[in-house]
Amino acid sequence: EPEVTQTPSHQVTQMGQEVILRCVPISNHLYFYWYRQILGQKVEFLVSFYNNEISEKSEIFDDQFSVERPDGSNFTLKIRSTKLEDSAMYFCASSGNTDTQYFGPGTRLTVL
Amino acid sequence: DQQVKQNSPSLSVQEGRISILNCDYTNSMFDYFLWYKKYPAEGPTFLISISSIKDKNEDGRFTVFLNKSAKHLSLHIVPSQPGDSAVYFCAASGGGNKLTFGTGTQLKVEL
Protein backbone atom coordinates (compact mmCIF):
# COMPACT_ATOMS: atom_id res chain seq x y z
CA GLU A 1 0.00 0.00 0.00
CA PRO A 2 1.40 3.43 -0.93
CA GLU A 3 2.53 5.54 1.99
CA VAL A 4 4.01 8.91 2.80
CA THR A 5 7.65 8.74 3.91
CA GLN A 6 9.67 11.31 5.82
CA THR A 7 13.38 11.81 6.52
CA PRO A 8 15.10 12.12 8.87
CA SER A 9 13.12 10.48 11.68
CA HIS A 10 14.94 12.67 14.21
CA GLN A 11 16.81 15.91 13.64
CA VAL A 12 18.80 17.68 16.34
CA THR A 13 19.98 21.21 15.62
CA GLN A 14 21.35 24.27 17.35
CA MET A 15 19.18 27.36 17.74
CA GLY A 16 19.64 29.67 14.76
CA GLN A 17 20.56 26.91 12.35
CA GLU A 18 18.63 26.06 9.20
CA VAL A 19 16.91 22.69 8.87
CA ILE A 20 15.25 20.98 5.94
CA LEU A 21 12.69 18.29 6.57
CA ARG A 22 11.98 15.98 3.67
CA CYS A 23 8.88 14.13 2.58
CA VAL A 24 7.95 11.85 -0.27
CA PRO A 25 4.17 12.03 -0.72
CA ILE A 26 2.06 9.27 -2.23
CA SER A 27 2.94 9.25 -5.91
CA ASN A 28 -0.35 10.16 -7.56
CA HIS A 29 -1.38 12.74 -4.97
CA LEU A 30 -1.65 16.40 -5.88
CA TYR A 31 -2.09 18.14 -2.52
CA PHE A 32 0.66 18.30 0.06
CA TYR A 33 0.68 19.52 3.65
CA TRP A 34 2.83 20.09 6.70
CA TYR A 35 1.54 19.85 10.25
CA ARG A 36 3.32 19.90 13.56
CA GLN A 37 2.62 18.63 17.06
CA ILE A 38 4.39 20.18 20.01
CA LEU A 39 4.72 17.70 22.87
CA GLY A 40 1.45 17.43 24.77
CA GLN A 41 -0.47 19.62 22.33
CA LYS A 42 -2.76 19.00 19.39
CA VAL A 43 -1.70 18.50 15.79
CA GLU A 44 -1.60 21.93 14.12
CA PHE A 45 -1.82 22.84 10.44
CA LEU A 46 1.14 24.73 8.99
CA VAL A 47 0.73 24.90 5.23
CA SER A 48 -0.89 23.33 2.19
CA PHE A 49 0.63 23.20 -1.29
CA TYR A 50 -0.99 22.57 -4.63
CA ASN A 51 0.06 23.14 -8.22
CA ASN A 52 3.50 24.36 -7.13
CA GLU A 53 2.27 27.05 -4.84
CA ILE A 54 1.07 27.56 -1.29
CA SER A 55 -2.73 27.33 -1.18
CA GLU A 56 -3.17 28.07 2.53
CA LYS A 57 -0.95 28.75 5.52
CA SER A 58 -1.45 29.26 9.23
CA GLU A 59 -0.21 32.05 11.47
CA ILE A 60 2.56 29.74 12.62
CA PHE A 61 3.96 29.61 9.09
CA ASP A 62 5.87 32.88 9.16
CA ASP A 63 8.80 34.12 7.08
CA GLN A 64 11.12 31.63 8.77
CA PHE A 65 9.31 28.78 7.05
CA SER A 66 9.25 27.82 3.40
CA VAL A 67 8.13 24.83 1.37
CA GLU A 68 9.31 23.50 -1.94
CA ARG A 69 8.65 20.66 -4.32
CA PRO A 70 12.09 20.53 -5.93
CA ASP A 71 11.32 17.56 -8.18
CA GLY A 72 8.45 15.21 -9.00
CA SER A 73 8.68 13.23 -5.79
CA ASN A 74 9.99 15.29 -2.85
CA PHE A 75 8.26 17.92 -0.75
CA THR A 76 10.39 19.85 1.73
CA LEU A 77 9.87 22.15 4.71
CA LYS A 78 12.70 24.56 5.48
CA ILE A 79 13.07 26.48 8.71
CA ARG A 80 15.65 29.19 8.16
CA SER A 81 16.69 30.06 11.69
CA THR A 82 15.37 27.59 14.23
CA LYS A 83 14.10 28.66 17.63
CA LEU A 84 13.68 26.57 20.77
CA GLU A 85 9.90 26.68 20.32
CA ASP A 86 10.21 25.01 16.90
CA SER A 87 10.94 21.74 18.70
CA ALA A 88 8.07 19.44 17.72
CA MET A 89 7.03 16.47 15.62
CA TYR A 90 6.56 17.58 12.03
CA PHE A 91 4.17 15.57 9.89
CA CYS A 92 3.88 15.64 6.14
CA ALA A 93 0.59 14.60 4.55
CA SER A 94 -0.74 14.22 1.04
CA SER A 95 -4.12 13.78 -0.58
CA GLY A 96 -5.44 12.99 -4.02
CA ASN A 97 -8.25 15.49 -3.61
CA THR A 98 -9.19 17.93 -0.90
CA ASP A 99 -10.67 15.28 1.38
CA THR A 100 -8.75 12.48 3.04
CA GLN A 101 -5.16 13.26 3.97
CA TYR A 102 -2.60 10.53 4.58
CA PHE A 103 0.19 11.24 7.00
CA GLY A 104 3.84 10.26 7.15
CA PRO A 105 5.54 8.91 10.29
CA GLY A 106 6.90 12.33 11.25
CA THR A 107 10.26 13.95 11.93
CA ARG A 108 11.10 14.79 15.51
CA LEU A 109 12.89 18.14 15.52
CA THR A 110 14.87 19.03 18.62
CA VAL A 111 16.31 22.54 18.82
CA LEU A 112 19.02 23.00 21.47
CA ASP B 1 -8.60 27.86 19.17
CA GLN B 2 -11.07 25.20 20.32
CA GLN B 3 -13.03 24.63 17.13
CA VAL B 4 -12.77 20.85 17.55
CA LYS B 5 -12.99 19.38 21.02
CA GLN B 6 -12.57 15.94 22.44
CA ASN B 7 -13.62 16.29 26.04
CA SER B 8 -12.53 12.86 27.21
CA PRO B 9 -8.73 12.63 27.40
CA SER B 10 -8.92 8.90 28.07
CA LEU B 11 -11.27 5.93 27.81
CA SER B 12 -10.87 2.40 29.09
CA VAL B 13 -12.93 -0.45 27.62
CA GLN B 14 -12.92 -4.22 27.98
CA GLU B 15 -11.98 -6.35 25.01
CA GLY B 16 -15.03 -7.32 22.98
CA ARG B 17 -17.14 -4.39 24.19
CA ILE B 18 -18.02 -1.23 22.31
CA SER B 19 -15.74 1.82 22.41
CA ILE B 20 -17.44 5.17 21.83
CA LEU B 21 -15.26 8.20 21.22
CA ASN B 22 -16.84 11.61 21.03
CA CYS B 23 -16.00 14.86 19.32
CA ASP B 24 -17.70 18.26 19.23
CA TYR B 25 -17.12 21.13 16.87
CA THR B 26 -18.15 24.75 16.78
CA ASN B 27 -17.44 25.87 13.21
CA SER B 28 -20.57 25.41 11.06
CA MET B 29 -18.38 25.70 7.93
CA PHE B 30 -16.90 22.27 8.58
CA ASP B 31 -18.28 19.81 6.04
CA TYR B 32 -15.92 16.84 6.20
CA PHE B 33 -14.86 14.93 9.28
CA LEU B 34 -12.21 12.31 9.82
CA TRP B 35 -10.96 10.01 12.55
CA TYR B 36 -7.29 9.17 12.88
CA LYS B 37 -5.54 6.70 15.11
CA LYS B 38 -2.07 7.44 16.41
CA TYR B 39 0.55 5.38 18.17
CA PRO B 40 3.46 7.05 19.99
CA ALA B 41 6.27 8.22 17.69
CA GLU B 42 4.16 7.50 14.58
CA GLY B 43 2.06 9.64 12.28
CA PRO B 44 -1.74 9.72 12.38
CA THR B 45 -3.30 6.78 10.52
CA PHE B 46 -6.57 7.46 8.70
CA LEU B 47 -9.47 5.34 9.94
CA ILE B 48 -12.75 6.59 8.59
CA SER B 49 -14.41 9.77 7.38
CA ILE B 50 -17.85 11.24 6.86
CA SER B 51 -19.20 14.03 4.72
CA SER B 52 -21.77 16.44 6.14
CA ILE B 53 -24.37 15.16 3.68
CA LYS B 54 -24.43 11.85 5.56
CA ASP B 55 -25.19 10.97 9.17
CA LYS B 56 -23.48 7.59 9.30
CA ASN B 57 -20.58 5.81 7.67
CA GLU B 58 -19.49 2.27 8.41
CA ASP B 59 -16.28 0.41 7.64
CA GLY B 60 -15.86 -2.98 9.27
CA ARG B 61 -15.66 -2.57 13.05
CA PHE B 62 -15.68 1.23 12.77
CA THR B 63 -18.76 3.41 12.44
CA VAL B 64 -18.83 7.19 12.52
CA PHE B 65 -22.03 9.07 13.35
CA LEU B 66 -22.57 12.73 12.60
CA ASN B 67 -25.21 14.89 14.25
CA LYS B 68 -25.02 18.23 12.45
CA SER B 69 -27.64 19.98 14.54
CA ALA B 70 -25.68 19.16 17.69
CA LYS B 71 -22.31 19.66 15.97
CA HIS B 72 -21.26 16.31 17.33
CA LEU B 73 -19.66 13.22 15.90
CA SER B 74 -18.75 9.91 17.42
CA LEU B 75 -16.67 6.90 16.51
CA HIS B 76 -17.90 3.47 17.51
CA ILE B 77 -15.54 0.52 17.54
CA VAL B 78 -17.16 -2.86 18.00
CA PRO B 79 -15.89 -5.27 19.09
CA SER B 80 -12.90 -3.51 20.66
CA GLN B 81 -9.57 -5.31 20.45
CA PRO B 82 -6.33 -4.79 22.39
CA GLY B 83 -4.66 -3.58 19.16
CA ASP B 84 -7.13 -0.69 19.11
CA SER B 85 -5.33 0.85 22.09
CA ALA B 86 -3.99 4.18 20.79
CA VAL B 87 -4.78 7.89 20.73
CA TYR B 88 -7.76 8.75 18.53
CA PHE B 89 -8.05 12.18 16.94
CA CYS B 90 -11.04 13.65 15.22
CA ALA B 91 -10.36 16.25 12.56
CA ALA B 92 -12.53 18.53 10.47
CA SER B 93 -12.22 20.54 7.30
CA GLY B 94 -14.40 22.98 5.43
CA GLY B 95 -14.07 25.56 2.73
CA GLY B 96 -10.45 24.65 2.19
CA ASN B 97 -8.19 21.72 2.76
CA LYS B 98 -6.58 22.31 6.12
CA LEU B 99 -7.53 19.91 8.89
CA THR B 100 -8.37 21.16 12.37
CA PHE B 101 -7.65 18.50 14.95
CA GLY B 102 -9.08 17.76 18.37
CA THR B 103 -6.84 17.11 21.35
CA GLY B 104 -7.22 13.34 21.17
CA THR B 105 -8.62 10.56 23.35
CA GLN B 106 -6.34 7.83 24.66
CA LEU B 107 -8.21 4.53 24.27
CA LYS B 108 -7.10 1.56 26.31
CA VAL B 109 -8.67 -1.80 25.54
CA GLU B 110 -8.15 -4.19 28.41
CA LEU B 111 -8.15 -7.96 28.31
**What is the mean predicted confidence (pLDDT) over B47-52?**
95
Chain B residues whose C-beta is within 8 A of a chain A C-beta are 32, 34, 36, 41-46, 49, 89, 91, 93, 96-104
Is-contact B15 B111, C-beta < 8 A?
yes
pLDDT of B22 above 90 = yes
Percent of chain A exceeding pLDDT 90 equals 86
Instruction: Return the closest-CA partner of residue B94 out of A67, A56, A59.
Output: A56
**What is the mean predicted confidence (pLDDT) over B29-57?**
94
pLDDT of B1 above 70 = no
What local confidence, expressed as pLDDT, does residue A65 receive?
A: 97
Question: Is A31's CB within 8 Å of B99's CB?
Answer: no
The residues of chain A scoring below 50 in pLDDT are none
